[in-house]
A and B are shown apart, each in its own frame.
Chain A
Amino acid sequence: IVLTQSPGTLSLSPGERATLSCRASQSVSSTSLAWYQQKPGQPPRLLIYGTSSRATGISDRFSGSGSGTDFTLTISRLDPEDSGVYYCQQYVGPPLTFGGGTKLEIK
């Protein structure tokens, strides 16, 4: 399953809301879609699993939604610390795949 993320780059201001899209080439079970944040020089950090469940310690400013082939990560009240690259990932069955990423810039 190919995951296509858009936009490639998103530039927003602090306090605004970010909407990141992840589109799958085939239907993905809602239990099998996750989102990660990666900052330079660091490993990815799990934000959302099962489409909408926040991982431990993740702020409620991060929320996930979607079904079938279209999924969204929404980040409200943007903070400069939210800058980074965001990846979606699916596991309907092997092989597991990641999207190409969306780079979020907070200026």
Chain B
Amino acid sequence: QVQLQESGPGLVKPSETLSLTCTVSGGSITTHYWNWIRQPPGKGLEWIGYIHHSGSSNYNPPLKSRVTMSVDTSKNQFSLKLSSATAADTAVYYCARWGETATIKLRAFDLWGQGTMVTVSS
């Protein structure tokens, strides 16, 4: 079955760029929209944005100026870059699949990675 796995540095210095990759295994990255969601310790979920293999993307307005997402179809991976990181960006970062396709009306996140903790600290 399709699985997602996040990877990237667990520690980022303030003002540097936080970079994460999500690897999609067991299925094609071209079938869905792919998302990043984060969760600060002890807090709720925040949607960061989505990317599609066509290049279409959309980011949450509070983060939009600092976020870049991309897709590498040859590696079946998509990535997140969050620039000018601060302590407020410390969180568990999840990659997740949006379930809706041209034929499936599932408007929710139906598949999640296990998450990766990123700490922003000097």
A residues with CB within 8 A of B: 31-32, 34, 36, 42-46, 49-50, 53, 55, 87, 89, 91, 94-101
The contact of A43 among B46, B60, B108, B114, by CB within 8 Å, is: B114
Cβ contact within 8 Å between B60 and A49: no
Cβ contact within 8 Å between B105 and A87: no
Bound complex: CA A32 to CA B106 (Å): 9
* B8 contacts chain A at the CB level, 8 A cutoff: no
Interface string of B41-68 (1 = CB under 8 A from A): 0001111000000000010110000000
The contact of B44 among A45, A55, A87, A95, by CB within 8 Å, is: A87
User: Chain A CB within 10 Å — which of B58, B109, B113 has the most?
Assistant: B109
Cβ contact within 8 Å between B110 and A55: yes
* B99 contacts chain A at the CB level, 8 A cutoff: yes
Chain A residue numbers with a CB within 8 Å of B110 are 46, 49, 55
Main secondary structure of the interface of B (DSSP, over half): loop
Minimal beta-carbon separation of A28 from chain B (angstroms): 11
The contact of A98 among B44, B99, B112, by CB within 8 Å, is: B44
Chain B residue numbers with a CB within 8 Å of A55 are 108, 110
Chain A residue numbers with a CB within 8 Å of B113 are 43
Minimal beta-carbon separation of A52 from chain B (angstroms): 12
Cβ contact within 8 Å between A95 and B60: yes
Chain A residue numbers with a CB within 8 Å of B46 are 98
Bound complex: CA A91 to CA B47 (Å): 11
Bound complex: CA A55 to CA B108 (Å): 10
* B75 contacts chain A at the CB level, 8 A cutoff: no
Q: Can you offer 15 A-B residue contacts whose CB atoms are under 8 A?
A: A34-B109, A49-B99, A49-B106, A49-B107, A49-B108, A49-B110, A50-B106, A53-B106, A55-B110, A87-B44, A87-B45, A89-B109, A96-B60, A98-B45, A99-B44
Chain B residue numbers with a CB within 8 Å of A91 are 107-108
